[in-house]
Each structure stands twice: as C-alpha cells, then as structure tokens.
Structure 1
Amino acid sequence: MINGSKVLDHPIRWAMVGGGKGSQIGYIHRSAALRDNNFQLVAGAFDINPERGMAFAAELGVAPDRCYPDYKTMFEEEAKREDGIEAVSIATPNGMHYTVCKAALEAGLHVVCEKPLCFTSEEAEELVALAKEKNRVVGVTYGYSGHQMIQQARQMIQHGDLGDIRVINMSFAFGGYNYKIEETNPAAKWRFDPTKAGPSFALGDVGTHPLFIIEAMIPDMKIDNLMCTKDSFVEGRELEDNAFVIMRLKGSKSVQEGAKVYCWASSINCGARHGHKIRVVGSKASIEWDDERPNQMTYEIEGEPVRTLERGAGYLYPEARVEDRIGGGHAEGLFEAWANLYRRFAVAMDAANNGEEYGDFWYPNVESGAQGVKWIEKCVESANNGACWVDYE
C-alpha cells in the first residue's frame, strides 16, 4: 500500500510548461505530482502571457525569480543554478509538445508530456533516440492507466485467467462536443485546428487512451493491420469528431492469431459523460472495465455468475494491491490514478539518475507515446484512402 512514505532520497526539482490558471489538466498534474512528495514544484513558465503567469506562480508559492516568460528562458536560467530543475511537465496545446520535449531533453531534463507526444513518427523516433542518448525518462500522461484495476487485468491476462485473447472492444465516446462548442469554448477551439492539434481529434485526443490501456494490460500485443473510418459530423470542423477502427492482432503468448480489436473514438455520443470502456474477451473468460466506475471490474466465466472484482480486495493479485492508497471499500479516482503514474515516473527518473535497472516495471514511456503517434498516422492513412486495410509495421 502507498502510504506517503518517500521512495526517493530527495524530491525531484520540477517545473511546468503551461498548465496555468484555469487549466484543469494543469491542476491534475500538480495534484498528482505533489501527492507523494516525489516532486517539488520550484519553477514554471505557466502562461503565454508572462504577467498572468507571474501572478499565478505567486498563488502556487513559486518564487518570482523562478517564474519565466517562456520555456526557453526557463531551461537556460535553471541550468545556471546548482538547485536547478531536474524534470519538467508539458501541459500545453498539442502543437508545442514536440518542440518543448526536444528542448527539455537537450537540456538534460526528464519529461512528463501530455499526449500526443508529437505529430509525426519521424518526430517520435527522434524523441525516442534523444531520450535514450541522454538517459532521460519521458513519461506520457495516459492517466487512466494508473487505476489499480488495470494492473489487476494485466496480471490476470499474464497468469492465463482469461485464456487466449480473442476480441477486445474498447471505446472512448463522450457527448460533450455534439454541437459546435468551439465557438464559445477556447479550450475546445484549438482541438479542431490541425496546426495546433495535429492530424486528428477524436483518435488522438481520446482514442489513444484505451489503446495504451490495452497495451498495459497485454504487453505482448502486436497490431498486424488496421482499418479506420472517420467523420466530422458537426459542420465546419477540420478534424474528425467520430471514428471507428478495426485492428487485427498478431498471435503471441497471450493473444490468439487473428484476434480483433474494435475501437470507437467519439465526441458526439449524445448523453454519454465519458463512454470510456474496455472489454477483453478470452477463450476462458472475459473482463470489462469502465473508467466512470474505475474501482470495479467484472470477471465473467462462461456458465458461472458474473463476478465484480473490487479495488483493494485481498483476492486481487499482489501487484495490483501495491498501489492501494486507502483501504478497500473507499473510492479512489482520477487523482489517485495520476498520482500512481507520477510515482512511477519518479521511480524511473531516479533509477535513470543512478544508472539502475528494474524488472517488471511499466509506465507510459517515450515508446508508448511514439506508438500512439504511429497509430494515429495509420488510422488517418486508412480513413483517407477509403477505409482500406493498412499494414501496421
């Protein structure tokens, strides 16, 4: 159980780019990073408006001389200090992710980056190589994967409880953008601008979340090929607000040859708050997880009553119970899931600093971010060519 005791010799000196006042995602980053005393917020370039950023830094308790007008100035000035930053989180619109991540790695900093990591596979491969060259950790905030039941699913699949995986049905289909919300909501407006959001909205903004979750559940999963169709149902949008993807998987220890993955990524699913669900169907049993009820997961064996597995219960695999933050029966949520990921990021950063390696330890890393970028590219390629099948490798 995680009880707040420190896991590092000293908190990692940490800064943010973006995530200023009014940013919901910025608040989630700070709450998660600071929860276990593994990070200490000491600097930031919080806002494109320097005066507004300075005022917000004061509210956060960041010293005025460590609040910077932009990320370039911050990296340069912090490098001159003996107590300079060691890591940075990037919580900006998508169009800045690659540039800031690259600059941070070149400055010798660890990085936590919002998804997508960048816009193209060429950029992603460059960041993967740079992270390896600099021996720096890049964590990508696929925040839902920090929920305890994802780790339970991983262990159940690894131990053969489900048998061979045959079908995966996943969705992230919410309804909040069913009308032209971008006309009145600045936070939504940039998401449909290809220059700021990249080549995709629904696939990139929400579809990559369940994609990483199934990768975390099934580490040996490999996509063979895929087919995608996408639409912009709300008139005037440059990027899709709805997409469907079918993927064929290669056979592996956990996955039956020819297994299928069905993905629905949407922002126009009227009435749905999130619609983020994962169902994994095996030859022995199935599991299903819903991120609006993240503390439970159904476990269904043919011919037997449906079981509901509960977070924190003694019957879960030990690897899942490690990330308990409060006794079973109490509800944990998004902040705890993000805090679990930030704890993993901190452990990985500390290991990199000390030249250490670890065994069966996962977190959404730079390769995970690159995989998400590649998946978006392949989906867009398929959809733009009449929903044809596209080889993944």
Structure 2
Amino acid sequence: MYYGEKRVENPIRWGMVGGGRGSQIGYIHRSAALRDFNFDLVAGAFDIDPERGKDFGKQLHVDPDRCYPDYKTMFAEEAKRPDGVQAVSIATPNGMHYEVCKAALEAGLHVVCEKPLCFTSEQADELVKLAEEKHRVVGVTYGYSGHQLIQQARQMIKNGDLGEIRVINMSFAFGGYNFKIEDKVPSAKWRFDPSKAGPSFALGDVGTHPLFIIEAMIPDMKIDNLMCTKRSFVEGRELEDNAFVIMNLKGSENVQAGAQVYCWASSINSGARHYHKIRVVGSKASLEWDDERPNQMLYEIEGEPSRVLERGAGYLTDEARVEDRIGGGHAEGLFEAWSNLYARFAVAMADADKGAYGDFWYPDVKAGAQGIKWIEKCVESADKGSAWVDYE
C-alpha cells in the first residue's frame, strides 16, 4: 500500500501547455501530478489568450512571470533559468500535440502528452526516435490503465490463470454525442474537424483507450490483421461517431494463434455514460472489467461459481496492491488511476535523468505510436470497404 512517501529524490519542475480555465482534463492532470509531490507546477502556457492564461496561472499560485503567452516562449525562457522546467504536460486540442511534443523533446524536456500523440505513423516514429536520442521520457495519458485491477489482470494472464487467450471483447461506447452537440458546445466542435482532431474521432478519442488496456494486460499481444467499418450517424460530421473493429492476433506465450478481438468505439450509444468494458477469454477462465465499476473485476473459471475480485483485497497479487491508496473497501476512481500513472512517469523521468531505466510499464511513446498505427489501419480498412488489412 502507498502512504505518500516520496518516490523521487526531488520534485520534478513541471510546466503545462494548455489545460487552462474550463479545461476538465487540465484539472485532472494537475490533480494527478501534484498529489504525491512528485511534480511541482512552476510554469505554464495555459491558454491561447495570453492574459486569460496569465490570470488562470495566478489562481494556481504560478509566478505571473512564468505564465507565458505560448509554448515556444515558455521553452526558450525556461531554458535560461537554473530552475527551469524539466518536464511539460500537453493538454491542448489534438492538432497541437505533435508540434509541442517535438519542440519539448528538442528542448531536452520530458513530456506527458494527451492522446493521440500525433496524427500519422511518420510523426509517431519521429517522436519515438527523438525521445530515444534525447534520452527523454514521453508518457501518454491512457488514464484508465492506472486502475489497480488492470495490474491484477496483467499478473493473472502472465501467471497462466486464464490459460491461452482466445477472445477479447472490448468497448468504449458512450452516448453523449448522439445529437449534434458541437453546435451547442463550442469545445466539442474541434473533435469533428480533421485538421484539429486528426483522421478519426470515435476510434482515436475512445477506441485507443481499451486498446492500450489490453496491451497493458497482455504485453506480448501482437495484431496480425484487422477489419474496420465506421460511419457518422449524425448528419454533417466529417469524422465517424461510430466504428466496429475485428482483429486477429498472432500467437505468443500467452495468446493462442488466431485469437480474435472485437472493438466497439462510439459516441452515440444513447443513454450510456461510458460503456467502457474489457472481457478477456482464455482456455481456462475469463476476466471482465468495467471502468464505471473499476474497483471490481469478474473472474470466471469454467465449471466453477463466478468470483468478483475486489481492489485492495489480500488475495490480489503484490503488484496490484502496491498502489493502493486508501485500503480495500473504499472506492477509488479516475483521480487515483491518473495519480498512479503520474507517479510512474515521475519515477521513469528521474531514472532517465540518472541514465537508468526502471523495469516497469507505463504508457510510453511507443504505446502512443501504436495507437496512431492502429487508427491508421482502421481508417485504411474502412476506406477500402471494410477490407482486411495486414497490420505490419
């Protein structure tokens, strides 16, 4: 169990790009990063409007002189300071992720970036290479993967408790955009603009979340080929609001050759708050996790009564319990999951600064690149009339 003791020798001096007033995701970033004193918010370019950004920064107790009009100015000015930022989080609309991430890496900064990391595999490959050359950490905020029962599932699959994995059923299908919300909520409008959101909405915005969760659960999972169909049901949208993807997997230590994966990504599932669920079916048993009930996971062994595994319980693996924050029985949620990821980001950054790399997982730059590749392959399949396309 975690009791708040420091995980890095000194808090990482941290800045933000975006995430200003009215940004829900910006608040989640700050709450997660600052919770365990692993990061210290010292600078920011919080808003496209410099004065509004400076005023917001002051409300966060950031020195007004370190509230900058844009990220380029922030990187240049902070580089002149002996106490300048060491890491930056990017909480802007999608269209800025690549340019800001690239500039941050070139400035020698660690990065935490909202997904998608960028728009194309060429851009993603460039960021992977740059991060490796600069020996910098890039974390991608697949926030749901910070829930502890994801770690429990990872260990159970590794231990062979499910047998060989045969079928994975995953969905992230909410209903909040089942009408033309972008006409009423300006902050939603960019999500359907390809120049700002990229080549996909439903697949990129929500589909990549369950994709990374199963990658975290099954690290040796490899996609062989996939087929995708997508469309926009709400008139006037340039990007899809609903998509289905079928994937075949290659065989590996924990995965049976030809294992099948089904994914439903949607924003028009009327009445659903999230409908973000993962079911992993093996030759011996199955696991099922629902992000709206993240403290429980269904464990079903063929021929035996169903079990519900509870976060924080003594029967879980040590790896799943190490990040408990308030003990079993109390409900933990998204802020705790994000805090766990930010703690992992901090340890990775501190290790990288020492020239060492910890042997633990977190959503890194390669995970971000994998998400971009998956989106591209899905779009390619759909554009070819839902044809099967090879993944490699």
Common fold by TM > 0.5: yes
Q: Which amino acid aligns with 1:318?
A: D
Residue deviations 1:215-271, cap 9 Å, x none? 000000000000000010000000000000000000000000000000000000011
Shift of 1:160: 0.1
SS at the partner of 1:95?
helix
d(CA) in 1 for partners of 2:115, 2:109: 18
Residue deviations 1:12-52, cap 9 Å, x none? 00000000001000000000000000000000000000010
Shift of 1:9: 1.1
The 5-angstrom pairing of residues 112-131 of structure 1 reads 112-131=112-131
Residue in 1 that maps onto 2:353 = 353
d(CA) in 1 for partners of 2:189, 2:106: 31
The 5-angstrom pairing of residues 220-231 of structure 1 reads 220-231=220-231
Residue in 2 that maps onto 1:155 = 155
SS at the partner of 1:154?
helix
Deviation larger for 115-124 or 349-358? 349-358
SS at the partner of 2:41?
strand
d(CA) in 1 for partners of 2:264, 2:116: 18
d(CA) in 2 for partners of 1:86, 1:202: 33
d(CA) in 1 for partners of 2:224, 2:275: 26
Residue deviations 1:120-163, cap 9 Å, x none? 00000000000000000000000000000000000000000000
Q: Which runs of 5+ in 2 are unaligned?
A: none
SS at the partner of 2:29?
helix
SS at the partner of 1:367?
helix
d(CA) in 2 for partners of 1:166, 1:370: 25
Q: Which amino acid aligns with 2:197?
A: A
Residue in 2 that maps onto 1:28 = 28
d(CA) in 1 for partners of 2:287, 2:8: 35
What is the TM-score normalised by the length of structure 1?
Answer: 0.99
Residue deviations 1:163-211, cap 9 Å, x none? 0000000000000000000001112100000000000000000000000
Q: Which runs of 5+ in 1 are unaligned?
A: none
Residue in 2 that maps onto 1:324 = 324
SS at the partner of 1:342?
helix
Residue in 2 that maps onto 1:184 = 184
The 5-angstrom pairing of residues 297-312 of structure 1 reads 297-312=297-312
Shift of 1:302: 1.1
Residue in 2 that maps onto 1:76 = 76
d(CA) in 1 for partners of 2:331, 2:163: 30
Q: Is 1:17–2:31 an aligned residue pair? A: no
d(CA) in 1 for partners of 2:197, 2:185: 15
SS at the partner of 2:101?
helix
d(CA) in 2 for partners of 1:17, 1:29: 11
The 5-angstrom pairing of residues 46-195 of structure 1 reads 46-195=46-195
Number of equivalences: 392
Residue in 2 that maps onto 1:386 = 385
What is the TM-score normalised by the length of structure 2?
Answer: 1.00
Regions of 4+ moved over 4 Å: none
Shift of 1:358: 2.4
SS at the partner of 1:297?
strand
Shift of 1:288: 0.1
Residue in 2 that maps onto 1:246 = 246
RMSD: 0.4
Residue deviations 1:83-116, cap 9 Å, x none? 0000000000000000000000000000000000
Residue deviations 1:337-381, cap 9 Å, x none? 00000000000000100011322x000000000000000000000
d(CA) in 2 for partners of 1:197, 1:44: 23
d(CA) in 2 for partners of 1:379, 1:186: 28
d(CA) in 1 for partners of 2:160, 2:8: 35
SS at the partner of 2:206?
helix
Q: Is 1:257–2:276 an aligned residue pair? A: no
d(CA) in 1 for partners of 2:225, 2:188: 32
Q: Is 1:216–2:219 an aligned residue pair? A: no
d(CA) in 2 for partners of 1:7, 1:91: 24
Shift of 1:3: 1.1
d(CA) in 2 for partners of 1:194, 1:381: 15
Residue in 2 that maps onto 1:377 = 376
Q: Which amino acid aligns with 2:10?
A: H
d(CA) in 2 for partners of 1:184, 1:40: 36
Percent of aligned positions that are identical: 82
d(CA) in 2 for partners of 1:117, 1:327: 34
Q: Which amino acid aligns with 2:98?
A: Y
Shift of 1:58: 0.7
Q: Which amino acid aligns with 1:160?
A: G
SS at the partner of 1:111?
strand
SS at the partner of 2:171?
strand
d(CA) in 2 for partners of 1:64, 1:335: 27
Q: Which amino acid aligns with 2:375?
A: I
SS at the partner of 2:89?
strand
d(CA) in 2 for partners of 1:333, 1:3: 17
SS at the partner of 2:20?
coil
Residue in 2 that maps onto 1:365 = 364
d(CA) in 1 for partners of 2:8, 2:384: 50
